[in-house]
Amino acid sequence: MSAKPKPRTLAPKPAAPAAPLLADVRELILTAQQGLSRMMNATLTLLYWGIGHRIRVDVLKESRAEYGEEIVQTLSAQLEREFGRGFSRRNLFNMVAFAAAFPDREIVQTLSAQLSWSHFTAIVPLDDALKRDFYAEMCRVENWSYRTLRDKIGSMLYERTAISKKPDKLIKQELAALRSEDKLTPDLVFRDPYILDFLGLKDTYAEKDVEAAILREVESFILELGLGFAFLERQKRKAQVFASRPACVTLRA
């Protein structure tokens, strides 16, 4: 009598990872990928700046002499054979223009944490140093994409802000504050300088000055309406900036 075959037992299925565990591990992987991408971008940007600076200072002597262009052409051919098309003659001169537009390596290093090489290729052709600094710093603080940056430049954002109408010295001061403290002044926010002229604000001022000026103009307007109106409450500050209680206007009987 033959023995009955033993029933086959199926191997237990591996337990599915708990949802929180999967989410946490995915987040770790994605964060690492993003960090690696930022690091590579910053490294490449500084590399391109270094190449441009070296060519500009040591080869072109800060001018585009004919002999310098011949040297760049030869250098490009040699680099392309070894490292590929990223070092074409055109790209090398883009790197030279980059180093000329942003001569301070420390500033470039700070910007490269947020701005890609594509960002810089959009900013470098701008014909004014203050305009370049404005778009670079706003791009860094606001974390604009390349497409958003192109749109902002195309819509002439700088020309439409109040800061563009100020003396160069004051523009440099506000951009320096933005660079060191991430401090957005009203001139960097207001898109129409006529608003600030209406409020009577000139040169440099604090946020509280803007707030006070707006309330002053509202109060003046209400008083012009005559005795039938009363300005009951001026302002009550709260913890957040500009989180003030609006003025109340009532009609007297």
Residue 71 has pLDDT above 70, yes or no: yes
pLDDT band, residue 106 (cuts 50/70/90): very high
Residue 225 has pLDDT above 70, yes or no: no
Structure tokens at 58: 């040591």
Strands (E), the chain: 229-233, 248-251
Structure tokens at 11: 């191997």
Task: Please name every residue paired with 248 in a beta bridge, in sequence order, or none if there are none.
Answer: 233
By C-alpha distance, which of 156, 145, 101 is closest to 123?
101
Q: What percent of the chain has pLDDT over 90?
A: 29
Query: For residue 146, what pLDDT is reported?
Result: 92
Residue 110: Cβ-neighbour burial (10 angstroms; 0-12, 13-18, 19+) = middle
Question: Domain boundaries in the chain?
Answer: 26-102, 114-205, 209-253
Q: Which residue has the higher pLDDT, 208 or 78?
A: 78
Q: pTM of the prediction?
A: 0.62
Number of alpha helices (DSSP H) and beta strands (DSSP E) in the chain: 12, 2
Q: Which residue has the higher pLDDT, 171 or 217?
A: 171
**Rounded Cα gap, residues 165 and 134, in angstroms:** 13
Residue 179 has pLDDT above 60, yes or no: yes
Per-residue model confidence as pLDDT tens digits over 197-216: 555 555 444 555 555 655 66
Provide the residue count of the chain. Answer: 253
Average pLDDT, the chain: 74
Per-residue model confidence as pLDDT tens digits over 45-59: 999 999 999 998 887
Q: Which residue has the higher pLDDT, 79 or 246?
A: 79
pLDDT band, residue 228 (cuts 50/70/90): very low
By C-alpha distance, which of 79, 110, 82, 81 is closest to 95?
79
The mean per-residue pLDDT over the stretch 148-164 comes to 84
Residue 83 has pLDDT above 70, yes or no: yes
Are 234 and 246 a contacting pair, CB within 8 Å? no
Structure tokens at 126: 């701008």
**Dihedral sign from CA coordinates of 126, 132, 134, 137:** positive
Are 49 and 108 a contacting pair, CB within 8 Å? yes
Query: For residue 75, what pLDDT is reported?
Result: 92
Query: For residue 243, what pLDDT is reported?
Result: 47
Residue 141 has pLDDT above 60, yes or no: yes
The mean per-residue pLDDT over the stretch 219-229 comes to 49
The mean per-residue pLDDT over the stretch 125-132 comes to 92
Query: For residue 239, what pLDDT is reported?
Result: 44
